[in-house]
Amino acid sequence: MKQESAAQSTPSASPPPSQPPQDDCDPQALWIFGYGSLVWRPDFAYSDSRVGFVRGYSRRFWQGDTFHRGSDKMPGRVVTLLEDREGCTWGVAYQVQGEQVNEALKYLNVREAVLGSYDTKEVTFYPQDTPDQPLKALAYVATPQNPGYLGPAPEEAIATQILACRGFSGHNLEYLLRLADFMQLCGPQAQDEHLAAIVDAVGTMLPCFCPTEQALALV
């Protein structure tokens, strides 16, 4: 098992600090940064999307979920952002414009804030292809002050919880594996030791939880 590390490997690209974040000069445009289920299922209309990263944050499976990936009796584990000076979190930024802005925010308020207990925070997003042209983006972050916050736990304990939980959006294991798949698509520079350790723990435990056929049905 990999040891819990607050710092994640950062990409080799080092954006010049003198370059201010951009907003594409459109006062009616908004960028929304997704680092969890939003990377594969935004479910709102958008005009553009870019893969990239934010600095100063690490992704952690420290938020409880009693709706999408769990229940009141068995909360699932989903990700939030932890402030970390050396951290780097990869995800997808979506641009919404005009009428898309209100529709996206209305939808995300229910999905992330009401059902997920996430707050909003402005972050600086660096596109993978143009890291020297950062963008201001809105991110949904679950803080320790919300009632669903579970906090840190050993990777094995998190893996056990993920294997046991299911919600209205599907099994918690699907959430974990889809996020891992996304990170692989970003390339070797997009490392997440916390995520990788949980995936490894799940791989070790899965045969003990259910036969192969049932395990495949979960995802």
Length of the chain (residues): 219
Burial status of residue 59 (CB atoms within 10 A of its CB: 0-12, 13-18, 19 or more): buried
Cβ atoms of 92 and 38 closer than 8 Å: yes
Neighbours of 66 (CB within 10 A): 19
76-97 and 29-34 strand pairing: antiparallel
Q: 115 phi and psi, to 5 degrees?
A: -85, -25
What pLDDT score was predicted for residue 164? 95
Q: Which residues pair with 135 in a beta bridge?
A: 22, 125
Q: What is the pLDDT along the chain (219 residues), one digit of tens a residue?
A: 433 333 344 454 444 443 445 545 565 799 999 999 999 999 999 999 999 999 999 999 999 999 999 999 999 999 999 999 999 999 999 999 999 999 999 999 999 999 999 999 999 999 999 999 999 999 999 999 999 999 999 999 999 999 999 999 999 999 999 999 999 999 999 999 999 999 999 999 988 765 544 544 555
Residue-level pLDDT at 14: 45
Residue 218: its H or E element: helix 212-218
How many whole angstroms separate alpha carbon 108 and alpha carbon 37? 12
Burial of 181 (0-12, 13-18, 19+ CB in 10 A): exposed
Query: Catalytic residue at 112?
Result: yes
Per the residue annotation, which of 83, 86, 112, 156 is the catalytic one?
Answer: 112
Amino acid at 211: P
Report yes or no: 33 and 53 within 8 Å, Cβ to Cβ.
no
Residues 191, 96 contacting (CB under 8 angstroms)? no
Of 132, 141, 98, 140, the C-alpha closest to 22 is 132
Q: What is the CATH number of domain 29-208?
A: 3.10.490.10
